[in-house]
Amino acid sequence: MAKKITIGLLLSFVGVLLMGPRSFASIVDSLHDFSKLSWNTSGEICIACHTPHNATSTSTPLWNHKLTAATFTAYASSSLNATVGQPSTASKACLSCHDGTVAVDAFGGAAGGRMFTVGPYKLGTDLANDHPVSFTYDSALATADGGLHNPAVKTVPALGGKTVDAGMLIDHKVECSSCHDVHKNKGDSPTTSDYLLLVRNSRSALCLTCHNK
């Protein structure tokens, strides 16, 4: 009887590991796995963004890709209580491919030549029609807005119960990585068709993580 109970508990534990918020998804074979593309002759996954030596930016971990120097048009709305300016380095790292001004293969000192010209992956430099980034999201903003959860209190089951501030924000700011997991190893959105979301947006779950509607 004890043996059956032990086996049952073991199977339950394995099930939690496989189906829990921190499953075995990773950057391997995800949308950011560039290792098999013709322009990445190294065959490495990480090299397009990171390098162990001679990084081009100290603000982003061992950054190896050319950073965008574009000036962006930020989102603005009469209902917005946050102050939104130019993207910070954390979001510029993403925009350095997705704004269409820097080549995807511009890494390791190379100028590159392959750029997003059309399609859903090119955001451009006009971010007025995109969710704002690089603004402080804290308890004060939540109080002023009235339609936001307090990020220091609201927990996110998909991130192991971390608060919004601890699990989604960077230096208390909303950045691209607040919704998207570039390494595909944190949230509960398991497939590449989910645009590398931290939280599955079924029934607007990702939106409602922050928006109290």
pLDDT tens digits for 125-142?
999 999 999 999 999 999
142: which 2 tokens?
Answer: 């939540």
The encoded tokens of residue 47 equal 């090299």
Q: Using an 8 Å Cβ cutoff, are 196 and 32 in contact?
A: yes
Neighbours of 46 (CB within 10 A): 17
Return the domain boundaries, the chain.
23-41+67-105+115-213
Q: Which two tokens stand for residue 193?
A: 């068709």
Pull the structure tokens for residue 136: 């402080």
Q: Give every residue of the chain whose pLDDT is below 50, as ranges.
A: 3-23
pTM for this prediction: 0.86
